[in-house]
């Protein structure tokens, strides 16, 4: 598995094949002995405060790449990124969740749910794009949050990023099985194994999901450019199938199915929108490929914004087609488009739909595998996760260890867990992270240490508290007061005034060097408000699962991640100081004052 090596006793590098030592996972000073570890635990409060308030630098995020021992290869351009974006996004979200949300929450108005989610996703795309251009490294949102909000917040987000990828991959893999069964002219559940002794939501075992994840893992570790070529070919076929679904489906349209357009009202539309946000995740995986992009300043904006625009239009057209073909009450939640064609008398078309869905879901799994491995690689470079996961294979130029670790976790979850549980939990993690990235963009534009005055910093904090607090208030009022409206008359003006105050009274501390998100602070502020509002539309059980996962992250961080990252950061700082001193000594030794050489210079 390894692409790197482990330090031997003489300080060199030894090749190790698939064997690992303790120092591959916990090489830091705090873990070299039990006494060291106990002392580190005693210093936890001090270290935690240090990590909460310490922000990384743009340059530091580039410097830590050396810990992977080998560089990732720069092979991607904007064309690759657009197709990666399309391949990453169009998958289980449209082919499965459209039917589920149309039937249970939104009816034909599910198209409006897609529009709301699409607008929110596009706002997040602009925020991500500025960061990806300015900090083109594999860490994606983890790196952006580490630079602007500090190590601790970045780690909490990182844990949820990893959860997002694992759950997203598991959900897509299970959907892959359902459509494969349809292609084989079987019921969507026929290839799953039901075990009576397990809880209902975890008793439908899916070995085919494990098999497809394994296949994707093999492709992902071979090469990024090879993955791009496979994704490009599969995505082209996928787009052709989508056009077929829209054109052929509309020939069977019945406008009577649109008579009851919004049977569940506005609340149902927003509830569906919160879940359908799952359909838009994947573009963040494209941002992790910035380190492998030839010209980030040009390629990333075109790739991210272009792919998101194409995806949103495709989603809306597909949602309209499905609900015109069939009454929302009779939509099949496992394979909605295939069953809709069969019900419309075009049974042969369900095979084309199923084949297209399989290709789409395969590319989603592939791009997700590529993206999640790069997230984990960069997190491991900071030693918040074991540094063994940061190694890049010398031959393939890919993070083999991180890819296998993430997809193994995905396979385990996909083997047991049903789609509805996965999609709700995934949407919480995604919305939470996108909200944090928008906050980080505001911090980046309006606060620079040593430049921003204390007065301006306090104004910024006050405005952020107003924006976030009013957004939370709006979401809570929406969730707890089904028929109320007075609360919105309070929270929405507070949000507007807080954003306006930020625009008028706090000067910009930094302008983007290469590419910047437009309409700051309004665009990121709207992104914060929409993401938090959609969070308020998700069921309480999903928040409980989210809280349990975040609690587990905190336990890991306080026992291991905090101390590993603290030791690594301090060792890096000490090394920088020594390098500066050595450089000064060399400069002094090269031309001693009063020497003939020194005199000659004058």
Rounded to whole angstroms, how far apart are CA atoms 131 and 125? 10
Is 507 inside any structural domain? no
Is 542 inside any structural domain? no
Asked whether 410 and 201 are in contact (CB, 8 A), the reply is: no
Is 408 inside any structural domain? yes
Rounded to whole angstroms, how far apart are CA atoms 156 and 498? 26
* End-to-end CA separation in angstroms for the chain: 58
Domain count, the chain: 1
Tell me the three state secondary structure of residue 266: helix
What values do phi and psi take at 76, rounded to 5?
-105, 145
Indicate if the alpha-carbon torsion angle 106, 111, 114, 119 is positive or negative: negative
- Segment 189-243, tens digit of pLDDT: 888 888 887 777 777 888 999 999 999 888 888 866 667 777 778 778 878 888 9
Is 329 inside any structural domain? yes
The angle subtended at Cα 157 by Cα 155 and Cα 159, nearest 5°, is 70
Is 153 inside any structural domain? yes
Residue 173 confidence (pLDDT) above 60: yes
Beta pairing class for 193-194 and 5-7: unpaired
Cβ-count burial 204-227 (b if 16+ within 10 Å, e if not): bebebbbebbeebbebbbbbbeeb
Q: Which residue has the higher pLDDT, 20 or 563?
A: 563
What values do phi and psi take at 7, rounded to 5?
-70, 135
The angle subtended at Cα 160 by Cα 53 and Cα 306, nearest 5°, is 100
H-assigned helices in 254-348:
265-276, 283-287, 296-325, 336-343
Q: Which of the four pLDDT bands, split at 50, 70 and 90, describes residue 513?
A: confident
Least confident of 105-109, 274-278, 320-324, 329-333: 274-278
Residue corresponding to tokens 């409206």: 485
Is 461 inside any structural domain? no
CATH for 422 = 1.20.1740.10
Mean pLDDT of the chain: 82
Task: Identify which of 202, 182, 205, 176 has the alpha carbon closest to the alpha carbon of residue 192.
Answer: 205
pTM of the predicted protein model = 0.78
Q: Which of the four pLDDT bands, split at 50, 70 and 90, describes residue 12?
A: very low
Residue 423 confidence (pLDDT) above 80: no
Average pLDDT over residues 334-343: 83
Q: Which residue has the higher pLDDT, 428 or 215?
A: 215
How much is the pLDDT for 584?
63
- Segment 455-508, tens digit of pLDDT: 999 999 999 999 999 999 999 998 888 777 898 999 999 999 999 999 999 999
Cβ-count burial 141-151 (b if 16+ within 10 Å, e if not): bbbbbbbbbbb
Is 360 inside any structural domain? yes
Residues of the domain holding 310: 76-450
Q: In this structure, what DSSP letter does residue 333 have? A: S
Average pLDDT over residues 59-65: 61
What values do phi and psi take at 29, rounded to 5?
-60, -35
Is 475 inside any structural domain? no
């Amino acid at each position: 598995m390894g692409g790197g090596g482990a330090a031997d006793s003489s300080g060199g590098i030894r090749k190790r094949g698939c064997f690992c030592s303790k120092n591959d996972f916990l090489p830091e000073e705090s873990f070299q002995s039990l006494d060291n570890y106990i002392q580190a635990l005693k210093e936890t409060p001090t270290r935690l405060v240090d990590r909460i308030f310490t922000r990384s630098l743009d340059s530091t995020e580039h410097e830590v790449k050396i810990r992977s021992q080998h560089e990732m290869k720069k092979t991607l351009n904007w064309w690759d990124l657009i197709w990666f974006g399309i391949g990453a996004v169009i998958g289980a979200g449209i082919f499965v969740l459209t039917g589920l949300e149309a039937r249970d929450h939104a009816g034909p108005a599910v198209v409006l749910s897609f529009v709301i989610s699409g607008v929110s996703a596009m706002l997040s795309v602009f925020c991500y794009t500025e960061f990806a251009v300015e900090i083109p490294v594999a860490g994606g949102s983890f790196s952006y949050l580490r630079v602007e909000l500090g190590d601790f917040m970045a780690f909490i987000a990182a844990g949820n990023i990893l959860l997002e990828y694992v759950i997203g991959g598991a959900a897509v893999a299970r959907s892959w099985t359902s459509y494969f069964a349809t292609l084989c002219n079987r019921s969507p559940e026929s290839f799953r194994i039901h075990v009576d002794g397990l809880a209902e939501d975890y008793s439908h075992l899916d070995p085919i999901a494990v098999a497809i994840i394994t296949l994707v893992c093999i492709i992902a570790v071979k090469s990024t450019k090879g993955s791009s070529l496979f994704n490009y070919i599969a995505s082209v076929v996928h787009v052709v199938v989508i056009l077929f679904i829209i054109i052929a489906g509309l020939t069977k349209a019945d406008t009577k199915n649109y008579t009851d357009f919004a049977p569940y009202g506005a609340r149902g539309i927003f509830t569906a929108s919160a879940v359908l946000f799952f359909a838009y995740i994947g573009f963040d995986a494209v941002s992790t490929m910035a380190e492998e992009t030839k010209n980030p300043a040009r390629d990333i904006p075109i790739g991210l914004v272009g792919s998101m625009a194409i995806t949103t239009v495709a989603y809306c057209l597909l949602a309209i087609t499905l609900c015109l073909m069939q009454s929302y009450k009779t939509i099949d939640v496992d394979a909605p488009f295939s069953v809709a064609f069969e019900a419309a008398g075009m049974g042969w078309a369900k095979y084309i739909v199923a084949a297209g869905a399989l290709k789409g879901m395969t590319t989603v799994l592939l791009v997700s595998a590529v993206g999640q491995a790069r997230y984990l690689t960069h997190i491991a470079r900071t030693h918040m996760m074991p540094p063994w996961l940061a190694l890049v294979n010398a031959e393939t130029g890919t993070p083999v260890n991180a890819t296998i670790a993430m997809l193994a976790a995905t396979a385990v979850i996909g083997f047991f867990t049903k789609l509805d549980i996965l999609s709700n939990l995934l949407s919480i993690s995604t919305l939470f992270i996108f909200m944090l990235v928008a906050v980080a963009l505001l911090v980046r534009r309006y606060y620079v240490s040593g430049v921003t005055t204390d007065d301006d910093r306090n104004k910024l904090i006050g405005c952020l508290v107003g924006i976030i607090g009013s957004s939370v208030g709006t979401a809570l009022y929406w969730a707890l007061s089904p028929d109320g409206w007075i609360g919105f008359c309070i929270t929405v003006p507070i949000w507007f005034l807080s954003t306006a105050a930020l625009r008028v009274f706090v000067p910009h501390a930094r302008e983007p060097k290469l590419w910047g998100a437009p309409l700051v602070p309004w665009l990121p502020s709207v992104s914060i408000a929409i993401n938090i509002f959609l969070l308020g539309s998700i069921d309480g059980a999903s928040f409980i699962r989210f809280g349990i996962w975040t609690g587990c992250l905190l336990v890991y961080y306080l026992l291991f991640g905090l101390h590993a990252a603290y030791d690594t950061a301090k060792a890096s700082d000490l090394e920088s100081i020594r390098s500066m001193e050595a450089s000064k000594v060399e400069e002094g030794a090269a031309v001693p004052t009063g020497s003939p050489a020194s005199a000659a210079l004058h």
